[in-house]
A and B are shown apart, each in its own frame.
Chain A
Amino acid sequence: MANFKISYREDTALFQNLWVKSWLGIFIAAMIVLPFLLSRYQLSILNGMGIAVIGALGLNLLIGYTGQISLGHGAFVAIGAYTTGLLAGTLGVPFIVALPVSGTTAALLSLIVGVPSLRLKGLYLALGTLAFGFIIEYVLFHWDLTRGDTGMAVPKIGAGGFFIETELQFFYLIMFFAALATLVAKNLARTKIGRSFVAIRDRDIAAEAMGISLSKYKIMAFAVSAFYAGVAGCLLAYYQKWIVPGNFDISLSIAYIAMIVLGGMGTILGSILGAILITGIPYGIVYLTDALRGTYPNLSGLIVDLKLGIFGLVIVLTLLFEPQGLVGIYRRIKVYWKTWPFKY
């Protein structure tokens, strides 16, 4: 298909040609029709994936684009979830207010790690964010307001007799925000914000010498990333209806890192693919153990505990064999078919 551009506006467009636009149309149509054909269980898996996509996009903007490592992403999801819990559960604030406030609260608290990141690099930043994650977890366990282990109830979304409560309704709500999050991430990536992030990742001294303020864009990266996490946390809180600190421990942060490493660092598509796969793995394990129950009855009890280990293995294997993640594989296939049947 011919692909000629006659203006810079066309050249910078998000959806470059009719081919891409038609596929997008088909995808959207499928997303609207498909849920009616799926069971509640299958929908619940997709809903979990949708929320993970939002969180993973945020983390990828921070680690993949800006190169600032964070082992505390789960903590920002927790901040979003508990802000929602406190606002909606205790004060009765509606969803439409709780969502942006949750994101903003997480973004503001990200300054606690964002500002030190101007001094800390690499391993030290990783340790700092790790500590931040533990502190948040500790606070949630011991603060009277958050009620520790008992957890907090989160009310339903809705007003005037209409409530979002079924899996199907949540599906549309979550997918709407996941799509919006993707669009915003795409836009950030193709404007000066994304370029500044990548410049800081690739050569921070040169970035500074080109007039890019390190402090401004590093803090912005942390804030945007935390905002995404806060929004994901808010949706998660409403979706789960009940939140406990155990939902947001270190394993959540590791799962998010596994998503972006497996999917592809520094790419939007990678965040989505990684989120889908990593969220899907536990369900795959359950499916497998169910299928094998007849032959190995003890397997199911064992393998659920191995979830974290499997995430770790996924990270190591991806880094070893496909550092660009699933996106790298996708790109290679694309190039292969572009020139097929010729080798070059």
Chain B
Amino acid sequence: MAVMNQDKSLQLEIKDLSMSFGGIKAIRNVSIGVQSGEIYSIIGPNGAGKTTIFNCISGIYKAQQGSIRFENRELLGVKPDRIAQMGVARAFQNIALFKGMTVLDNLMSARVHLMKYGLLGAALYLGACQREEVQNRDAVEDVIEFLDLQSVRKSPVSSLSYGLQKRVELARALAMKPKILLVDEPVSGMNLEEREDMARYIIDINEEMDITVVLIEHDMGLVMDLSDRVTVLNFGTKIAEGTPGEVSSNPEVVKAYLGDEH
């Protein structure tokens, strides 16, 4: 079905993206189109360039060639904070939470761009400042409830377990009120129960909050169950795209994962 919808306008459109570090070509002419409202997965062996693509989308790396368009606006060359403010949220692979803050403050810090009061208002905690703080707290509490973080709300993030930190990482991205969510290996290093919880959360985020999800994951079971469409990368080039069923039977993909003699 996805292939038929191709001419429908894409929410995120990556065209002929190339990026190299010195002599190493991390990604070569990769094109990806993500439609509004779907769960789109990017898979591939280690070093295939998956996270590099995320870093290019969120502006942390600047790709040398190609274009990345989000809702018809070019992202290439735009600063990371501006890209985030357009509605592109990111949950990092190796947890990148703000260690010195509580869970609540971590989530609140994702809403800085949604608060309009200035330095003077903050210094005196004037009416507008207090009102906005309370409003945003309210919104953050919704996210806390959504991801069942109530009990750790005021704990420092450094005191939480790995699985819980991963969930806070997702919550922080969600607190930004994004239109599209880039999730990098959300279940790596988790046990079965935590994986199932995380899968449930991702589906809920996609369906109930109506947020497009782009997923990088090594857990094939999770990818096949969740994704509407999948792209497979190998050595920085796209080798297949399609529904989970199409991709898993693609001979190129089988070769990339299992080797030639299969």
Chain A contact residues, CB within 8 Å of chain B: 7-9, 11-12, 14, 184, 187-188, 190-193, 195-196, 198-199, 201-203, 205-214, 220, 224, 266
Contact B119 A220 (CB under 8 A): yes
Question: CB-nearest residue of chain A relative to B80?
Answer: A208
The reply on B238 being an interface residue by CB < 8 A is no
> Which A residues lie within 8 Å of B79 (CB)?
208, 213
Instruction: Tell me, rounded to whole Å, the shortest Cβ–Cβ distance linking A231 to chain B.
Output: 13
The reply on B133 being an interface residue by CB < 8 A is yes
> Which A residues lie within 8 Å of B133 (CB)?
8, 12, 191-192
> Which B residues lie within 8 Å of A196 (CB)?
109, 112
Contact A8 B137 (CB under 8 A): yes
Question: CB-nearest residue of chain B relative to A209?
Answer: B90
- A169 and B141 alpha carbons, distance in the complex (Å): 48
> Which A residues lie within 8 Å of B117 (CB)?
191-192
> Which B residues lie within 8 Å of A220 (CB)?
119
The reply on B200 being an interface residue by CB < 8 A is no
Instruction: Tell me, rounded to whole Å, the shortest Cβ–Cβ distance linking B169 to chain A.
Output: 9
Contact A205 B96 (CB under 8 A): yes
The reply on B92 being an interface residue by CB < 8 A is yes
> Which B residues lie within 8 Å of A206 (CB)?
92, 96-98
- Residues 72-107 of B, flagged 1 when their CB comes within 8 A of A and 0 if not, give 000000011100110001101000111111000100
Contact B81 A199 (CB under 8 A): no
Q: Other CB < 8 Å A-B pairs besides A203-B98, A211-B110, A212-B109, 14 of them?
A: A8-B133, A12-B134, A184-B123, A187-B122, A192-B112, A195-B101, A196-B109, A199-B101, A203-B97, A208-B84, A210-B112, A211-B112, A220-B119, A224-B119
Q: A192-B115, A193-B119, A205-B96 are in contact. Are A211 and B84 (CB under 8 A)?
A: yes
Contact B125 A187 (CB under 8 A): yes
Q: A191-B125, A191-B133 are in contact. Are A212 and B112 (CB under 8 A)?
A: yes
Question: CB-nearest residue of chain A relative to B154?
Answer: A11
Contact A195 B105 (CB under 8 A): yes
Contact A210 B84 (CB under 8 A): yes
Contact A212 B119 (CB under 8 A): no
Contact B109 A195 (CB under 8 A): yes
Contact B98 A188 (CB under 8 A): no
Question: CB-nearest residue of chain B relative to A9?
Answer: B134
> Which B residues lie within 8 Å of A224 (CB)?
119
Q: A198-B109, A206-B92 are in contact. Are A191 and B129 (CB under 8 A)?
A: yes
Contact B96 A8 (CB under 8 A): no
Contact A208 B81 (CB under 8 A): yes
> Which B residues lie within 8 Å of A210 (CB)?
81, 84, 89, 109-110, 112, 172-173, 176
- A211 and B107 alpha carbons, distance in the complex (Å): 12
Residue among B97, B100, B111, B138 with the highest chain A CB neighbour number at 10 A: B100
The reply on B113 being an interface residue by CB < 8 A is yes
Instruction: Tell me, rounded to whole Å, the shortest Cβ–Cβ distance linking B177 to chain A.
Output: 10
**What are 19 residue pairs bridging A and B, where the CB atoms are less than 8 Å apart in the complex?**
A8-B133, A11-B137, A187-B122, A187-B123, A188-B123, A191-B117, A192-B122, A195-B112, A202-B97, A203-B99, A207-B109, A209-B81, A209-B84, A210-B109, A210-B172, A211-B112, A211-B113, A212-B81, A220-B119
